[in-house]
């Protein structure tokens, strides 16, 4: 009977193998289930079942099966030694017995090498078992499980693990024994041996595909030594979690405690060595993944030095262009992306046109982004729109293109933006986009609600933005304030901004200046001045000082304006701040105090101004005038530094007195060009060219019209049009044109009121001068051409 059962299992295994090679995973799954029905402890059949479920994309079923069968997965086992925490649980009795309750006898004062020294002394043996990525050793495991370790050691055994295990290797081998479980070296051996048989990769991969990257990473962290496929899976998980520095340490395995950014070249050499020694066809894929990591790191730190990778494939060329985008070199990135597009077409030219366009979609959208950042928005919008018309399957690409179109639209074309924002905020995008991209989309969503006057939605989106991305609190608060201001609640907006500034000093200047602007829009200058006065050292910035002086003067409070300038002068003199050009502020302060009768304060400003520019004679003259009012002796000393008042020999005083210096330069030059020298003056006499000659004007008599009779009064209607004259008669066919029209009950007087022919003619008063014509009140008119009468048509015959 047993033999028959073995034959049946062998036959089913044969079918299972055939189905797997033919990629018939449904049939293979049924075969594996048949084997497990007969023998539930068949590890190979269980493993095949999990692989079939993964190939069929049934990741949830695969994960449930792994968790449900502890005997066949790494969840249980006879010993349960899955991490150092559990290992200590099972061996604590032996440890306490061998080392004693306090361990003082065995450890001694000289045996405290601590855990890091113990690992250093035995690194030769450990490295063979833990591998080159051996910083998953006891040192790291202790750090992660210290919370659980400290209660077990108890208050009386506070030697901590570094002291407890700090004995020399000789003590360990003697006291714990070389016969198996008590030797830490052999215990690690056993732990590692079990881990190689567990379905760690399958469980972590299912968690990764189910968008559970944190749980997948915890699963992989239980493994002391990562195989090649586990490293690559962990690299993908770290990329999803945007832990790029940790990802570099995985892709470029090297034993380091902290990753030094200057060691990328060495790390890259190690990773290239791994690719060289691997026996598969995934070298280009690994290099592409590494270039993607480096591109994201360039976005986080544009000045970071990174190794230069090859660009022989369009994927590598695209990632290289992304590095340039991260550094802000959009022109170079544009040229590289165009070359990448050509390389992509050449690489997949045998594919269908639809597949080619799908592959080119991400390249074109990135190219449009480069154009967008260079200010060429119309070109970028055309490319974004064309990419969306292709209806790509990648929801991440659709979200990015839609968001960028919304950014171009701003407050225009809001209906199109409202359609696009739906594509940019779909569920599942958190697994497709980076946190930086999701953050920008969330901000644009808030701005769109602001532009469309959706007040409640705008406030809700801003609150959600702060909850999801606390570092975007400043942007969200500004949007909330603008929305309140649009609703006529500027004071409430100012309160929100002031509160946020008090809680976040790094954003104090931006928030409070925005609050001041809102208060000034309401005309509240007093509260605005109070906020500006409470900006600590920023109050003395030239722009803030200028704003305060302007506001106080607008309120008529010149004393407060003077005090602001005094405090600014004293602060700069005390702190010796020389950042920026302060000469304008010093000069304005000096002029203000001189006008307000405070020469002593003005002298301080002028001294600072003279210190900045020692050769400025104008400033020195003003300083002399200021000291002349408060300290004549010092003014006398300073006046000696002024240039002498010796007159030049070529200056003609009489010409200066005769010159019309009140005239503007252009008028004087024009007059000088037209003036003739006076007959009594000698040629060359200075000033003659500026003396204007008075012109005499001859009066002319006004022209009268022909056949004008000065004794008779002219017809007052002579300049009126024919139809406006009193004796004008309409034609017969136009006389009774409007009779019968209008509402019933109207009188004849009402219609006569609006009849221009029945209006009384306006009589004009005769001019007191009988020789001048009488102008018409209505003004001159153009001469009317006589209307020619139509000739009668001769009757003709057909």
User: Which H, E and C letters describe 446-467, residue by residue?
Assistant: HHHHHHCCCHHHHHHHHHHHHH
* Average pLDDT of the residues in 784-791: 49
pLDDT, residue 76, reads 37
* Average pLDDT of the residues in 702-725: 82
Q: What is the pTM of this model?
A: 0.60
Sorted by sequence, the CB contacts under 8 Å of residue 261 that are 6+ apart come out as 304, 305
Query: How many Å apart are CA 63 and CA 206, to the nearest integer?
Result: 6
Question: Positive or negative CA dihedral for 590, 592, 597, 598?
Answer: negative
The SS3 of residue 608 is helix
Q: Do 159 and 95 form a contact (C-beta atoms < 8 A)?
A: no
Taking residue 82's Cβ as centre, other Cβ atoms within 10 Å add up to 18
Q: What is the pLDDT of residues 63-115, one digit of tens each?
A: 998 888 756 654 333 333 344 444 444 443 444 444 444 443 433 343 333 33
How far CA 355 is from CA of 122, 145, 313, 396, 459, in Å, comes to 56, 50, 17, 17, 43
Query: How many Å apart are CA 380 and CA 372, to the nearest integer?
Result: 5
pLDDT, residue 297, reads 79
What single-letter DSSP state applies at residue 684? T
pLDDT, residue 638, reads 78
Radius of gyration, CA atoms only, the chain: 47
What single-letter DSSP state applies at residue 101? S
In terms of Cα–Cα distance, which of 65, 37, 71 is closest to 50?
A: 65
Q: Do 480 and 496 form a contact (C-beta atoms < 8 A)?
A: yes
Q: What is the pLDDT of residues 130-140, one digit of tens each?
A: 444 443 444 44
Using CB atoms within 10 A of its CB, is residue 208 exposed (0-12), middle (13-18) or buried (19+)? buried
* Average pLDDT of the residues in 697-715: 78
Q: Where are the alpha helices (DSSP H) in 258-376?
A: 264-277, 283-300, 314-326, 330-347, 353-373
pLDDT at residue 19 tops 60: yes
Q: Do 256 and 227 form a contact (C-beta atoms < 8 A)?
A: no
In terms of Cα–Cα distance, which of 370, 374, 424 is closest to 395?
A: 424
Q: Do 722 and 784 form a contact (C-beta atoms < 8 A)?
A: yes
pLDDT, residue 776, reads 40
pLDDT, residue 575, reads 77
The SS3 of residue 383 is helix
DSSP secondary structure string, 37-71? HH-TT-HHHHHHHHHHHHHTT-HHHHHHHHHH-GG
Tokens (6 digits) for 424: 């940019």
In terms of Cα–Cα distance, which of 575, 550, 580 is closest to 565?
A: 550
In terms of Cα–Cα distance, which of 366, 515, 511, 469 is closest to 446?
A: 469
Query: How many Å apart are CA 245 and CA 293, to the nearest integer?
Result: 9
pLDDT, residue 95, reads 41
Residue 284: pLDDT band (50, 70, 90) is confident
Tokens (6 digits) for 25: 């995973």
400-404, 570-574, 720-724 — which is least confidently predicted? Answer: 570-574
Query: How many Å apart are CA 326 and CA 323, to the nearest integer?
Result: 5
Q: What is the pLDDT of residues 143-188, one digit of tens each?
A: 444 444 444 444 433 344 444 444 333 444 444 444 433 445 444 4
pLDDT at residue 757 tops 60: no
In terms of Cα–Cα distance, which of 265, 235, 237, 262 is closest to 251?
A: 235
Q: What is the pLDDT of residues 221-244, one digit of tens each?
A: 777 777 777 777 887 887 788 765
Upper half-sphere CA count for residue 165 (Cβ side, 13 Å)? 20
DSSP secondary structure string, 194-254? HHHHS-HHHHHHHHHHTT-HHHHHHHHHT-SS--HHHHHHHHHHHHHTT-HHHHHHHHS--
What single-letter DSSP state applies at residue 376? -
Query: How many Å apart are CA 112 and CA 62, to the nearest integer?
Result: 48
Q: What is the pLDDT of residues 500-532, one digit of tens each?
A: 998 998 898 899 999 999 999 888 888 889 999
């Amino acid at each position: 009977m047993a033999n028959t059962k073995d034959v049946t299992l062998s036959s089913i295994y044969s079918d299972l193998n055939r189905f797997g090679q033919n990629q018939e995973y449904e049939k293979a799954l049924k075969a594996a289930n048949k084997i497990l029905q007969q023998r539930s402890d068949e590890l190979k059949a269980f493993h095949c079942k999990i692989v079939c479920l993964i190939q069929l994309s049934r990741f949830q079923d695969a994960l449930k099966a792994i968790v449900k069968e502890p005997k066949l997965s790494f969840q249980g086992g006879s010993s349960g030694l899955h991490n150092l925490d559990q290992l200590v649980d099972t061996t604590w009795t032996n440890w306490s017995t061998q080392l004693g309750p306090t361990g003082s006898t065995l450890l001694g004062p000289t045996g405290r090498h601590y855990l890091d020294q113990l690992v250093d002394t035995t690194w030769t043996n450990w490295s063979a078992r833990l591998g080159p990525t051996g910083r998953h050793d006891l040192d790291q495991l202790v750090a992660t499980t210290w919370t659980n370790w400290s209660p077990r050691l108890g208050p009386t055994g506070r030697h901590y693990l570094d002291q407890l295990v700090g004995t020399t290797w000789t003590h360990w081998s003697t006291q714990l024994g070389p016969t198996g479980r008590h030797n830490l070296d052999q215990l690690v051996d056993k732990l590692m041996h079990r881990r190689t048989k567990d379905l760690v990769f399958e469980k972590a991969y299912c968690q990764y595909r189910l968008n559970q990257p944190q749980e997948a990473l915890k699963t992989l962290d239980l493994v002391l030594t990562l195989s090649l496929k586990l490293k690559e899976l962990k690299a993908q998980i770290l990329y999803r979690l945007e832990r790029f520095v940790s990802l570099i340490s995985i892709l470029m395995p090297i034993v380091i405690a902290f990753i030094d950014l200057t060691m990328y070249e060495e790390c890259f050499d190690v990773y290239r060595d791994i690719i060289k020694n691997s026996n598969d066809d995934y070298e280009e894929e690994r290099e592409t993944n590494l270039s993607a990591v480096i591109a994201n790191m360039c976005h986080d730190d544009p000045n970071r030095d990174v190794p230069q990778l090859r660009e022989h494939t369009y994927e590598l060329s695209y990632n290289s262009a992304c590095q340039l985008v991260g550094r802000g070199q959009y022109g170079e990135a544009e040229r590289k992306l165009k070359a990448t597009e050509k390389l992509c077409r050449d690489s997949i030219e045998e594919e269908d046109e639809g597949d080619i366009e799908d592959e080119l979609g991400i390249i074109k959208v990135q190219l449009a982004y480069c154009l967008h950042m260079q200010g060429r928005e119309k070109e970028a919008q055309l490319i974004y729109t064309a990419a969306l018309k292709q209806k790509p399957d990648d929801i991440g690409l659709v979200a990015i293109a839609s968001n960028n179109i919304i950014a171009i639209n701003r407050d225009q074309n809001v209906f199109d933006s409202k359609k696009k924002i739906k594509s940019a905020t779909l569920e599942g995008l958190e697994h497709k986009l980076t946190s930086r991209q999701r953050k920008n989309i969330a901000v644009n969503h808030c701005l769109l609600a602001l532009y469309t006057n959706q007040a409640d939605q705008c406030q809700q989106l801003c609150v959600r933005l702060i909850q999801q991305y606390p570092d975007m609190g400043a942007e969200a608060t500004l949007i909330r304030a603008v929305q309140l201001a649009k609703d006529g609640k500027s004071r409430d907006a100012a309160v929100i901004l002031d509160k946020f500034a008090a809680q976040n000093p790094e954003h104090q200047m931006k928030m409070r200046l925005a609050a001041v602007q809102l208060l000034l829009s309401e005309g509240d200058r007093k509260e605005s001045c109070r906020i500006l006065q409470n900006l600590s050292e920023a109050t003395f910035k030239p722009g803030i000082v200028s704003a305060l002086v302007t506001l106080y003067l607008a309120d008529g409070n010149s004393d407060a304006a003077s005090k602001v300038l005094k405090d600014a002068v004293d602060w700069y003199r005390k702190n010796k701040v020389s950042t920026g050009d302060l000469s304008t502020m010093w000069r304005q302060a000096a002029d203000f105090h001189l006008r307000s009768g405070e020469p002593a304060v003005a002298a301080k400003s002028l001294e600072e101004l003279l210190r900045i520019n020692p050769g400025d004679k104008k400033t020195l003259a003003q300083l002399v005038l200021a000291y002349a009012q408060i300290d004549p002796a010092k003014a006398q000393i300073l006046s000696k530094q002024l240039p002498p008042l010796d007159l030049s020999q070529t200056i003609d005083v009489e010409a200066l007195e005769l010159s019309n210096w009140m005239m503007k330069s252009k008028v004087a030059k024009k007059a000088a060009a037209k003036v003739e020298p006076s007959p009594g003056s000698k040629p060359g006499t200075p000033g003659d060219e500026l003396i204007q000659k008075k012109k005499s004007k001859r009066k002319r008599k006004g022209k009268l019209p022909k056949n004008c009779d000065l004794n008779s009064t002219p017809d007052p209607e002579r300049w009126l049009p024919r139809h406006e004259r009193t004796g004008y008669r309409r034609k017969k066919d136009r006389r009774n044109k409007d009779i019968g029209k209008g509402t019933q009950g109207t009188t004849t007087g009402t219609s006569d009121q609006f009849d221009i022919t029945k209006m009384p003619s306006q009589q004009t008063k005769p001019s007191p001068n009988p020789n001048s014509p009488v102008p018409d009140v209505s003004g001159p008119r153009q001469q009317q051409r006589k209307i020619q009468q139509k000739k009668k048509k001769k009757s003709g015959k057909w």
